[in-house]
Amino acid sequence: MAVVENVSDTAFWVAHYRARESARPDALFHDPLAERLSGTHGEAIARAIPGSVMTGWIVSIRTIIIDDFLRYAIGQGVDLVLNLGAGLDTRPYRLDALDQKVTWVEVDYPAMIAYKEKQLAGETPRCRLERVKLDLADPAARRGFLAEMNTRSKNILVLTEGVLPYLNNEDVAALADDLRHQPDIRFWIADYMSPDALRFRRRLSRRHLRNAAFKFAPGDWFAFFGSHGWQCSDMRYYAQEATKLRRPLRLPLPYRIMMILRWLVSTPAQREQFSKFAGFALLVPKAV
């Protein structure tokens, strides 16, 4: 039996790395609920899949990026956050920018919502928290949900952390169109992966993540979202943010030597491209 049987299993994997970051003496953030949520399943996945150093580094850096985007958007008046494919995220319990003026709505499969509610029973969120059991792959149900949310606020942010890569191009296009159709969605936090990053992930997927393979592969990421009514307001790349945070990627020695050699023979343009291999974008609607 595969250690990762479906995309939902990756939520346990990610929560494990948030727990590991939280336990560090120089932790970039503290997620006291991550270990409880990840349990032994998250640890088992982390042991079975190679590349734990890089995966943990990415999870830590992306968490900081998204936290910063959320603080900015809430400062701009956002009072309704729609976390689509929320998985085991715990920001409603830990993010300092949240208060009772903000409503946070988590959307995921029924089994994931039920597990999370059981594990977090008795915990008090910082904001108003709601959970919705919904298959986001159902277009009619998704559109009905978004239309209902649009009636509740004029300042909505959508978060899709770790969701888009598992969808194919057509599914991401449909989601982008559905979000753009709602006039009061002001921000969308979305994954960015360069073609090089996608090729690396696909090599890993063939052996260890066949049941949770990355599918989204637009030729030009920015043009793709632009064609569906979204433009990038702010982009944060992992490598560049890690430099700011003084948290370099510390690979095992053989990989480090290989990376140094590659860096030495690369051109300035190639080095710039490498520094932008993946990250997160804060998207806003394009003016009509």
The pLDDT, as a whole number, for residue 2 is 54
d(CA 18, CA 118): 20
The pLDDT, as a whole number, for residue 253 is 64
The pLDDT, as a whole number, for residue 5 is 80
Q: For residue 1, what pLDDT band results from cuts at 50, 70 and 90? A: very low
Judged against a pLDDT cut of 80, whether residue 149 lies above it is answered with: yes
Q: Is the dihedral of CA 135, 63, 169, 74 positive or negative?
A: positive
Instruction: Assess if CATH 3.40.50.1970 describes domain 61-285.
Output: no
The pLDDT, as a whole number, for residue 252 is 67
The per-residue pLDDT for range 171-185, each reduced to its tens digit, is: 999 999 999 999 999
Judged against a pLDDT cut of 50, whether residue 124 lies above it is answered with: yes
Strand partners, 281: 190, 235
The pLDDT, as a whole number, for residue 6 is 83
CB-based burial, 142-165: b 16+ in 10 Å, e otherwise: beebbeebbeebebbbbbbbbbbb
The pLDDT, as a whole number, for residue 205 is 62
Mean of the pLDDT values across residues 187-210? 78
Judged against a pLDDT cut of 90, whether residue 276 lies above it is answered with: no
More confident residue, 2 or 116: 116
Mean of the pLDDT values across residues 65-93? 98
* Average pLDDT over all residues of the chain: 91
The per-residue pLDDT for range 257-272, each reduced to its tens digit, is: 666 667 677 787 766 7
The pLDDT, as a whole number, for residue 168 is 93
Judged against a pLDDT cut of 90, whether residue 287 lies above it is answered with: no
Lowest-pLDDT range, 38-47, 64-73, 139-148, 265-274?
265-274
